[in-house]
Chain A
């Protein structure tokens, strides 16, 4: 055997278009047996499309796939599975009422009529043991942590004989501890001969864990490197097509140490019930000072959304005070809070932020309209258009013109509209408190960098920013202080000097009690 062995997986000339959008323009991709291969690129670069083609979810318009050097025709997910290809999607496909074992066996019950789950338990346990996947098979999926659910998904794929395992953005929902555990698992799989393809836009994860890296941009492969050749700067440049200087300590500048400055937002013992009456925010107290960017870390669904809605005035609080510039606004309508200097970048940019049937210019006026026309009754269309043109130029919004219907804008551009609107509003009302919830979710590198810099600028200009984010890296990078929320209670308030990803991860997961305070949610509140 002198000739080099063919790669485990090879894709050549892959092309795919959706209507007028070209998702893949002749992509070549290859991965070797037993390697962890990072597939890196911005949102919309074509990574997921390429892997969806490989796993049979989409059919390519052109291109060839070879497994172990032999051509493979993949038209349906079953074809992919026959060739040992399996994919763990960003959103798990588990049935919550079933046990882990039942989920693993789903579709592989082995018998047409009778469900004999226990007969297969040993097989599943054998697979789990071989790859070092410790999962409690008898546990209901509902009660499992996200990281464990992910293991169940991986086990499900391995049980089906998968030896090319694709994971789509697998770390988005995980705490740092869970991320480490995931990569330990993946390394163990690779050591046992599984080819792991790891789709991500997070450069650090790729650098820390992958053997080889393929970078995609705009439907094309722009480079393939071994780990040794890759540096962070090089990968960013390949992904984005230009250099983006990182946000360093210098950019945060004066954003640190602002305790002495006046508070712009004071929250005392705030409790909020959701629409089913359950208390989801429990006696939260914190203060936001001028000139600081305070982060709030937490696993999704721990009360962040309700807290934000109570602060903005969408949900009436069950108790407590919200003071803006020294005045309690806990019962005040939205408009009064805006007038007192609160601006908001909502989490759900389409449901909470967009007027899809109205024009871009009209969308940019929402919330500004009581201020922008000097109290006149007429809606000054010329003024609105002027403001829109200014925002389009300043924020790099990609739109035909200011009259285009907002429904036609892409997600990144919609987010730019919301940011532009919030900052313009703050300018008009001299607003000093900016509340932003997951403002960079789903954005590409450039747009993310853009939004982050605007938040920092706002703090540097003397405003206070409260950033609620599920992206811990983002919070660690930007914030001068970090609050951690767990089950609706603030369990930690850490200065930048005490930032430690693992400790914060433990606080987010509830495995470490709050520092100084009594652990767990306080009972007895009426």
Chain B
């Protein structure tokens, strides 16, 4: 270790190798602990793992389901990541998803009489979702920028606001009385997203999600605005001395974060449910936080982690049928993966430091 100066590239390569090793170890550990869990539940370990993978990736239908799940997870995680890069904790992804869904549904209803073609109406629905989420993100943004109110509390509380607003709309004015459930009548067919794999039911939302994620990635790394967001997230004091308006960046970052989640909500409406549904998000917000931790606030890492969690979500549904594990086993697996990554990561970080 005395050959100090020569080691620059070697250090970088070493870090990449260590990162890879970290994840390999973590996945191995997670598999082991999950196996023990399956055994404890008196299930067949190999059958469980095979079911998990074949049901989510082994058939066209499975892949379609996985893709459909990936869209909201990816957008939600990008929303959380966007906030974290600017130094903000957006715990309100669920609420923003609902608000995006409400805005999208409302737009579809409002424009129903115009009989717009699909290639006009569907994008308008998505745009409405985007703006609805942005508006909902702007609330904590303004409060934080203007009065230094902690965005964590506001976003958490707004989740309740959005949930009960959805509850009201799905059971009240927009309710579909025939079903007797908390769902609205269907939006016009022209408002629906086109299908990506029509036979299997995969909608085009994943394309929107991937495109939005790519734009976020470019925004953060290739624009002056993204640079200012990262600077504020890294050291707000230095950023302020550098002439960056903290209030402006706070408002923009939290609004964009909310907008990404709102887009996810609109996609769920126009791509999957074709109407507003209470329970539209089964806790995507919390999973998005886990995913952005797993993905280390890096767009590529977040994308990979989103797919991984989608696989677990889809696969765990079938575990119930084939292995007799409860459906919530999927959540246990997710938790095990996250804990394993955090554990292995902390260990290797300590050894390196």
Contact = CB atoms under 8 A, between A and B. Distances in A.
Given A333-B245, A335-B245, A358-B234, A366 B222 contact: no
Interface in B235-263: 235, 237-245
Contact of A377 (B4, B225, B239): B225
A394 interface: no
Contacts of B120: none
Contacts of B1: 20
Nearest to A407: B234
B235 A334 contact: no
A502 interface: no
Interface in A342-374: 344, 346, 351-358, 362, 365-367, 369-370, 373
A307 to B, nearest CB: 15
B226 interface: yes
A378 B239 contact: no
Nearest to A384: B227
Contacts of B245: 333, 335
B223 interface: yes
Given A338-B243, A344-B241, A378-B222, A356 B234 contact: yes
Contact of B227 (A352, A369, A401): A369
B151 interface: no
Contacts of A370: 224, 243
Given A353-B238, A400-B8, A358 B243 contact: no
Contacts of A378: 222-224
Interface string A389-425: 0000000000011000000000000000000000000
Contacts of B223: 377-379
B67 interface: no
A379 B220 CA distance: 9
Nearest to A351: B237
8 contacts: A335-B245, A353-B238, A357-B230, A367-B242, A373-B224, A379-B222, A379-B226, A400-B8
A312 interface: yes
B231 interface: yes
Contacts of A381: 221-222
B317 interface: no
B194 to A, nearest CB: 31
Interface in B179-233: 221-228, 230-231
A404 to B, nearest CB: 8
Nearest to A366: B242
Given A314-B241, A334-B241, A338-B243, A354 B235 contact: yes
A355 B234 contact: yes
A369 B228 contact: yes
A367 B235 contact: no
Given A358-B231, A369-B227, A379-B224, A352 B8 contact: no
B301 to A, nearest CB: 16
Interface of B: 1, 4, 8, 221-228, 230-231, 234-235, 237-245
- The DSSP consensus for interface residues of chain A is loop
Contacts of B227: 362, 365, 369, 379
B220 to A, nearest CB: 9
A366 B227 CA distance: 9
Given A20-B4, A369-B228, A381-B222, A355 B238 contact: yes
Contacts of A379: 221-224, 226-227
Q: Contact residue range for chain A?
A: 20 to 34
Contacts, number: 76
A402 to B, nearest CB: 12
The 5 closest A-B pairs by CB, nearest first: A367-B242, A335-B243, A366-B242, A400-B8, A355-B234
A333 B239 CA distance: 13
B238 A354 contact: yes
A346 B241 contact: yes
A375 B285 CA distance: 36
Contacts of A312: 241
Given A346-B241, A352-B238, A366 B231 contact: yes
Contact of B243 (A351, A353, A367, A376): A367
B235 A356 contact: yes
A493 to B, nearest CB: 28
Nearest to B9: A400
Which of B224, B226, B239, B244 counts the most A-chain CB atoms under 10 A from its CB? B224
B28 to A, nearest CB: 29
B2 to A, nearest CB: 8
Contacts of B244: 335, 366
A378 B234 CA distance: 20
B224 A366 contact: no
Interface string A307-341: 00000101000000000000000000111001000
A201 B226 CA distance: 43
Contact of B239 (A338, A356, A366, A400): A366
Contacts of A362: 227, 230-231
A401 B8 contact: yes
B29 to A, nearest CB: 28
A355 B239 contact: yes
A334 B234 contact: no
Contacts of A376: 224
B241 A355 contact: no
Nearest to A312: B241
A355 B230 CA distance: 9
Contacts of B230: 355, 357-358, 362
A378 B225 CA distance: 8
B226 to A, nearest CB: 7
Which of B223, B231, B242 counts the most A-chain CB atoms under 10 A from its CB? B242
A334 B224 contact: no
Given A335-B245, A344-B241, A378-B224, 12 more contacts: A314-B240, A333-B243, A335-B243, A346-B241, A351-B235, A355-B231, A355-B238, A366-B238, A366-B242, A369-B224, A369-B242, A370-B224
A370 B1 CA distance: 42
Given A20-B4, A355-B235, A400-B8, A367 B224 contact: no
A365 B238 CA distance: 12
Contacts of B225: 377
A312 B238 CA distance: 12
Contacts of A314: 240-241
Contacts of B228: 369
Nearest to B11: A400
A351 B8 contact: no
A311 to B, nearest CB: 12
A343 to B, nearest CB: 10
Contacts of B231: 355, 358, 362, 366
Contacts of A334: 240-243
A301 B267 CA distance: 58
Nearest to B225: A377
Contacts of A338: 243
A338 B243 CA distance: 7
Given A369-B224, A369-B228, A379-B226, A351 B238 contact: yes
A389 B241 CA distance: 23
A335 to B, nearest CB: 4
A362 B228 CA distance: 10
